[in-house]
Amino acid sequence: MSQHVLVTGGAGFIGSHTVVQLVNAGHQVTILDNLSNSSIIALERIKKLCTGPLDFIEGDIRNPSLLEKLFSDHDITAVIHFAGLKAVGESVEKPLEYYENNVGGTTQLLKAMQHAGVKTFIFSSSATVYGDPETLPITEDSPRSTTNPYGQTKLMCEHILEDLDQTQDGWKIILLRYFNPVGAHISGTIGESPAGTPNNLMPFVSQVASGRRDTLSVFGNDYPTKDGTGVRDYIHVEDLAEGHLAALNYLLEQPDNTLQAINLGTGKGISVLELVNAFEQASGQQIPYQISPRRSGDIATCYADATRAKSLLGWQATKTVEDMCNDTWRWQSQNPNGYDA
């Protein structure tokens, strides 16, 4: 059944891919994005990939009057909430900005939804809420803890949503805990466009392959892993986008007062050096690297138990590491500076 979905942060990396899939599946979509970490060029590219119309509002989730008008002007039936700040290091430098945007912004959005009687909500959470996991693979029932302000904001939002579910009628909520999103749309026209020096591995590797950066620093080779480097569960952004459609379909069939936390990952762990090798194969480029000290706050290994997504949503990741590298490389080579000219 076609829905009118408000997608906050829909011009960003994960949002853009999800919007294309939502529109092409026949849903009506309104994006709300303040373009603080995205570009109007992304929006033009998204529109080109959509087979139907797309509505865009430039604005901030922390603006209550804008939200009130948005919900009264549009017959929104569900919200997918991507908008937020996401850089761990920056969150340590500017914790108040992170709490204000991620926690304050989410609260404003939920208040406006409650007021408008729109109570179907999909939240972008993160594997960061599992902290340093005690057991692997990580199930949704694993203990939650965090090590930095960014992670705290995600965990606080999860608690806010749990309270809402416990105390208020009619909400249907899914907490999607993403593992490590990478890759790009197969067209090579939309992808991840980090501002400044990338913090995450895949964008850094792809910028080394394209010659924009000289050398990758591998943060530690003395972890208790297969080759000593950190192991993560990389998931293709197109698989992730499909996970949101599956989550929406699932929620629509649930009774009121549903809350589920669901991991979106592949269930497979890949080391830094394995990813570097796969990227060299995909790009045909050498990736020079040096072993550097461990990055503070890093954990050795993190990968999902993805069985709940399969059993509840009927969703599982299908793209391989080769797909992730090929698609990232296509995007990187066609857009060496991301969306910046």
Q: Would you say 129 and 175 are in contact if contact means Cβ atoms under 8 Å apart?
A: no
Q: Toward ligand NAD, which CB reaches closer, 155 or 216?
A: 155
Interface stretch with ligand NAD, choices 82-90, 164-172, 244-252, 286-294 (CB under 6 A): 82-90
217 counts as binding ligand UD1 under rule CB under 6 A: yes
Q: Toward ligand UD1, which CB reaches closer, 138 or 164?
A: 138
Task: Give the list of residues 6+ apart from residue 31 with CB closer than 8 angstroms, or none.
Answer: 7, 8, 10, 11, 15, 19, 43, 54, 55, 56, 57
Interface stretch with ligand NAD, choices 5-13, 66-74, 209-217, 250-258 (CB under 6 A): 5-13
Pick from 10, 12, 105, 230 the residue near ligand UD1 by CB under 6 A.
230
Question: 203 preceded by cis ω (within 30°)?
Answer: no
Pick from 133, 137, 181, 265 the residue near ligand NAD by CB under 6 A.
181
84 counts as binding ligand NAD under rule CB under 6 A: yes
**Smallest distance from ligand NAD to CB 74, Å:** 16
**Smallest distance from ligand UD1 to CB 230, Å:** 2
> What DSSP line would sit under 20-75, residue for residue?
HHHHHTT-EEEEEE--TTS-HHHHHHHHHH-SS--EEEE--TT-HHHHHHHHHHS-
Q: Which of 114, 99, 215, 191 is nearest to 146 (CA)?
A: 99
Q: Toward ligand NAD, which CB reaches closer, 228 or 339?
A: 339
Q: Which of 23, 22, 16, 17 is nearest to 39 (CA)?
A: 16
Interface stretch with ligand UD1, choices 65-73, 120-128, 259-267, 323-331 (CB under 6 A): 120-128
Catalytic residue among 150, 178, 250, 339: 150
Interface stretch with ligand UD1, choices 70-78, 156-164, 196-204, 249-257 (CB under 6 A): 196-204
Phi, psi of 149 (to 5 degrees): -60, -40
Pick from 38, 106, 128, 153 the residue near ligand UD1 by CB under 6 A.
128
* Binding pattern for the stretch 91-110 against ligand NAD, x by CB under 6 A and - elsewhere: ----------x---x-----
11 counts as binding ligand NAD under rule CB under 6 A: yes
Pick from 5, 6, 15, 241 the residue near ligand NAD by CB under 6 A.
15
Q: Toward ligand UD1, which CB reaches closer, 35 or 92?
A: 92
CB-count burial class (<10 Å; 0-12, 13-18, 19+) for 96? exposed
Q: Toward ligand UD1, which CB reaches closer, 56 or 204?
A: 204
219 counts as binding ligand UD1 under rule CB under 6 A: yes
Secondary structure (H, E, C), 82-150: CCCCCCHHHHHHCHHHHHHHHHHHHHHHHHHHHHHCCCEEEEEEEHHHHCCCCCCCECCCCCCCCCCHH
Instruction: Work out whether the CA dihedral 150, 151, 156, 157 comes out positive or negative.
Output: positive
Helix axes 237-253, 13-24, angle to 10 degrees: 60
Which residue number has the CB closest to ligand UD1?
230
Return the SS3 of 191: coil
- Percent helix / strand / coil, the chain, rounded to 5: 40, 20, 40
Q: Toward ligand UD1, which CB reaches closer, 27 or 232?
A: 232
34 counts as binding ligand NAD under rule CB under 6 A: yes
Interface stretch with ligand UD1, choices 19-27, 94-102, 255-263, 296-304 (CB under 6 A): 296-304
Which among ligand NAD, ligand UD1, none contacts residue 14 (Cβ within 5 to 8 A by kind)?
ligand NAD
60 counts as binding ligand NAD under rule CB under 6 A: yes
> Nearest 5°: CA angle at 82, between 154 and 333?
115
Is 250 an annotated catalytic residue? no
Catalytic positions, written as ranges:
150
